[in-house]
Amino acid sequence: MIRWSAAAVVMAVAAGGGVLLLQAEASLHGQVAVQRQTIGQLERRITSLEGAAGSQPDWSSIAATVEPSVATIVAGDASGSGWVAHSDATGSDLITNFHVVADTWSAGVSTVQVLQGDHSSTGTIARLDRNDDLAVVHVKERLTVLRTESQRPKLGASVMAVGSPLGLGGTVTLGVVSGFRSLGGSDYVQFSAPISPGNSGGPVIDSHGRVVAIASAKLVGTGVEALSLAIPVQVPCLNLVSCSS
């Protein structure tokens, strides 16, 4: 039979408590390490989300910049949209669709009304391209020009249509470039931003605030949605007007 002295017992208890303390400390360090790893993962996720958010277009700012260069074109009983492609000391050239001014032109009238907010001015139909459904309207005022993109947009790129659907000037809708089509011998950019009668001739803007196309038409039918068509901006800029890039 082993007899322990009081001192030995105290030492044994103390030694056992030390082991328990070391185990608890090791467990605590492990938990802290796991928590730090979790916090690090969360911080990286937050940084990634902030970066993604920062890369999204600021459409509100883009719309505010673009809107002063977009107008409602009223040609007799028809109305559409137009945008400023060129400006100099003689005035400004706005691009629109030919079908917006077709009836007025056929009636022998070469003037239209150009509306921007509460301001109205008289525009003159200066040049036409019936085959590509384009027209240039000239006004005497010197207006702010919209810059254009020299390359066609990428499939899936975000875009904003600006115009006057049903005469409601300053209307914007968002979508993406959803395809490229050749219809009736003409090339079109297909996009998903909703457009309505009155959008015709309005600019389709990319995330840099540049014009990539001119809203022209949409496919309609039962169950058909967001199939809008626009004329590539390179067409009028090569054939009708000197655009700013």
Catalytic one of 81, 87, 178, 200: 200
User: What is the full DSSP assignment across 158-212?
Assistant: EEEEEE-GGG-TTEEEEEEEEEEEEETTEEEEEE-S---TT-TT-EEE-TTS-EE
Largest interatomic CA distance in the chain: 128
As a whole number of Å, the CA-based R_g of the chain is 33
Question: Do the beta carbons of residue 204 and residue 192 sit within 8 Å?
Answer: no
Indicate whether 155 pLDDT > 80: yes
Q: Percentage helix, strand, coil, to 5, in the chain?
A: 30, 35, 30
Indicate whether 190 pLDDT > 70: yes
Question: Do the beta carbons of residue 95 and residue 236 sit within 8 Å?
Answer: yes
Domain 59-63+147-239 grouped into CATH 2.40.10.10: yes
Task: Report CA-CA distances (Å) from 17 to 5, 7, 13, 21.
Answer: 18, 15, 6, 6
Neighbour-count burial for 108-141, b at 16+ CB within 10 Å, e otherwise: eeeebbbbbeeeebebebbebbeebbbbbbbbee
Q: What is the CATH number of domain 70-139?
A: 2.40.10.10
Catalytic one of 93, 132, 133, 206: 133
Report DSSP state, residue 68.
Answer: G
The pLDDT, as a whole number, for residue 126 is: 97
Catalytic one of 69, 87, 92, 99: 99
Give the chain's mean pLDDT: 88
Indicate whether 97 pLDDT > 70: yes
Reply yes or no on whether 200 is catalytic: yes
Indicate whether 106 pLDDT > 80: yes
The pLDDT, as a whole number, for residue 184 is: 87
Residue spans of the domains in the chain: they are: 1-56, 59-63+147-239, 70-139
Task: Report CA-CA distances (Å) from 124 to 77, 111, 198, 244.
Answer: 17, 5, 19, 21
Report the number of secondary-structure helices (H) and strands (E) in the chain. Answer: 4, 12
Please tell me which residue, 99 or 29, carries the higher pLDDT value.
99
Indicate whether 117 pLDDT > 60: yes
- Token pair belonging to 36: 């730090």
- In one-letter notation, the amino acid at residue 17 is G
Q: pLDDT digit string (tens) for 214-240? A: 999 999 999 889 999 999 999 999 999
Same fold, 59-63+147-239 and 70-139: yes
The pLDDT, as a whole number, for residue 198 is: 98
The proportion of the chain whose per-residue pLDDT surpasses 70, expressed as a percent, equals: 79
- 201 pLDDT band, cuts 50/70/90, is very high
Task: Report CA-CA distances (Å) from 20 to 2, 8, 27, 46, 52.
Answer: 25, 18, 11, 39, 48
What's the mean pLDDT in 120-129? 97
The pLDDT, as a whole number, for residue 36 is: 74
Q: pLDDT digit string (tens) for 18-66? A: 665 566 666 666 676 667 776 666 666 655 544 444 568 999 999 999 9
Say what the pTM is: 0.78
Please tell me which residue, 29 or 7, carries the higher pLDDT value.
29
